[in-house]
Amino acid sequence: MFTIKNGPFTETNADALLVGLFDKPLKFEGVLKTLDESFQGNLTGLVKNGDLSAKKGQAAVIPTMSQIQTKRIVFAGLGKEKEADFHTIHEAVTIAAKQSETYGLESIAVALDSFVNENVTAVEAAKAIFEAFFMARFHYSGYRTPGNEPEKILKSIDVWTEADAVEVKAACEVGRAMAGGTNTARRLTATPPNMMTASDLAHHAQQLADQYGFDIEILEREDMEKIGMGSFLAVAQGSAAPPKMITLKYKPNEDWNDVLTFVGKGVTFDTGGYSIKSKDGIVGMKTDMAGAAAVLGAMEIIGELRPDQPVMAVIPATDNVISGHAFKPDDVITSLSGKTIEVKNTDAEGRLILADAITYAKQQRAGRIVDVATLTGGVIIALGKDKTGALTNNEPFFEQVLEASHEAGEFIWQLPLTEFDKKRIRQSDVADLNNSPGRDGHAIMGGGFIGEFAEETPWVHLDIAGSAEMSPGVMTRTLAILALS
């Protein structure tokens, strides 16, 4: 798919050459000087005319007019050189890749050294470029009838650099894997709910297990009834589609203690149950399994990159629908942990399935848990759609998750969880817990409810209700980076 090459990048015969431009202000030196000489000084005129800019967010596709072998040069503006970092390159390549997509490129060359500065090495730049490029090229075509024109597929990328070829190649592979897992999460989330049931999620998990050698366990309804997963089964009892409790285990060695565990909410469609959503609010609820998708995407990356530490994924998968068998407000249910729950709101179902999933994960020797869920509309009210809300019972572990999110460029903001909040969650006349104590502090109430089942196990909750809508596939790379750290 890609090769690392040394020598003059102007010799490439790829369909296009990707070049990074720093605004220093823009000087014709290094890679740009070489290109300007090939163009007999004509690039200077493009800069003066405003056709070529190094400002952040600017991209330009310039035909070479046979001045060099490649047909086009794609310039990515990186802004001021002293300020440019990994995320600057990521953003610039994303813009450039989308702008050049209409040309149907089948091959591309990268002038890697044009992206290097004092903040970013060639290895780091390679990872950023590959990750951004393949994420930018993702499209979910769904089930449209294909047109007559054949789809042009990118067949090769040549990376031209003077840096160590082995290290650069490894970085390209990491970036490609990160993009691949994120795009998998995007595809799963975008799939229509009649084609992405709990059984379909389980099938995808089985494919991952077969491809990467993961241990896999899929509990059926009867299995869950036997061990007492009453909280999960209450949500699932209204559906004709069978629920699945999916567990994947990555075991790089014999040690299976203090296992880093990802728990993903897998509600494949959420009507709200008897606390039914509005006609507008119910549309788009196929994405209520975005947490499960992020976890499966992260496990794909883990399978590709093989970190040293063991990792487990636990996904409770079901839909939440209305029928004569569905659970009701005022029901009292008993969770796998033995804690009883008063159901005040059947649309607060994510926390109910995650409760049993986290208890089950602990039984499977989870030592640190990150749950990822499109849990509450309240997090959107509090933080907007560009941020993921977080809760934790362990600050050192949260700092590790936060550091991974910074590296991934996925914004997390910690919400407080106080003793007063916990008292509200435990406020019920008939049960140990209340699944919906009120609208105020809604995001905290939802996440805090899950924390009642994490108990003393280090735990971080990530509410992606808004961020998954704005950035499908969100948290996939954060989870993967955490596993690789």
pLDDT per residue over 306-325, tens digit each?
A: 999 999 999 999 999 999 99
State yes or no: 432 annotated in a binding site.
Answer: no
Domain boundary among 124, 146, 180: 180
CATH number of residue 82's parent domain: 3.40.220.10
Q: Are residues 336 and 289 in the same domain?
A: yes
* pLDDT per residue as tens digits for the range 3-27: 999 877 777 889 999 999 888 755 5
What total number of domains does the chain contain?
2
If asked whether residues 170 and 222 sit together in one domain, one would say: no
Check the CA dihedral 146-151-154-155 and report its sign: positive
**Domain extent for 440:** 196-484
Could you tell me if 152 and 215 lie in one domain? no
347 annotated to a ligand binding site: yes
Q: Would the annotation count 164 as a binding residue?
A: no
Q: Give the model's pLDDT for residue 23.
A: 82
228 inside domain: yes
Are residue 173 and residue 222 in the same domain, yes or no? no
Q: Is residue 277 annotated as a catalytic residue, yes or no?
A: yes
Average pLDDT across the chain, whole number: 94
Q: Can you tell me the distance from the alpha carbon of 251 to that of 312, in angstroms, rounded to the nearest whole number?
A: 9
- Which of 351, 368, 424, 477 does the annotation list as catalytic? 351
When pLDDT is averaged across residues 455-482 and rounded to a whole number, the result is 98
Residue type (1 letter), 191:
T
| 65 — pLDDT class (breaks 50, 70, 90) | confident
Which of 56, 72, 137, 277 is an active site residue?
277
CATH of the domain at 405: 3.40.630.10
Choosing from 180, 214, 235, the residue where a domain stops is: 180
The pLDDT, as a whole number, for residue 320 is: 98
The pLDDT of 392-403, averaged and rounded, is 98
189 in a structural domain: no
For 76-130, what is each residue's pLDDT tens digit?
999 999 999 999 999 999 999 998 888 888 999 999 999 999 999 999 999 999 9
Residue 162 shares a structural domain with residue 211: no
- Phi first, then psi: give them for residue 18, nearest 5 degrees: -95, 125
Domain presence at residue 191: no
Q: Do 175 and 221 belong together in one domain?
A: no
- Please report which confidence band the pLDDT of residue 28 belongs to, taking 50, 70 and 90 as the band edges: low
Residues 327 and 393 in one domain: yes
From 180, 212, 241, give the residue that closes a domain. 180
- Whole-structure pTM value: 0.96
10 Å CB burial of residue 148 (0-12, 13-18, 19+) is exposed
C-alpha span between 131 and 376 (Å, rounded) = 30
Q: Are residues 245 and 365 in the same domain?
A: yes
Summarised one tens digit per residue, pLDDT across range 126-164 is 999 999 999 999 999 888 887 776 667 888 999 999 999
On the question of pLDDT at 445 being above 90, the answer is: yes
Neighbours of 135 (CB within 10 A): 21
Residues 229 and 347 in one domain: yes
Is residue 460 assigned to a domain?
Answer: yes
Percent of the chain topping pLDDT 90: 83
Domain contains 390: yes
Are residue 317 and residue 274 in the same domain, yes or no?
Answer: yes
Confidence of residue 354 (pLDDT cuts 50, 70, 90): very high
- Distance (Å, rounded) from C-alpha 12 to C-alpha 5? 10
Do 163 and 242 lie in one domain? The reply is no
- Same domain? 45 vs 147: yes
The answer to whether residue 190 sits within a structural domain is no
Instruction: Examine residue 302 and state whether it is found in any structural domain, yes or no.
Output: yes
Residue 75 has pLDDT above 60, yes or no: yes
- With CA atoms as reference, report the closest residue to 4 among 136, 125, 180, 106: 125
With tokens 């208890």, the residue in question is 359
71 carries a ligand binding annotation: no
Per-residue pLDDT tens digits for 33-59: 777 777 777 777 777 777 788 899 899
| Cα 176 from Cα 198, distance rounded (Å) | 28
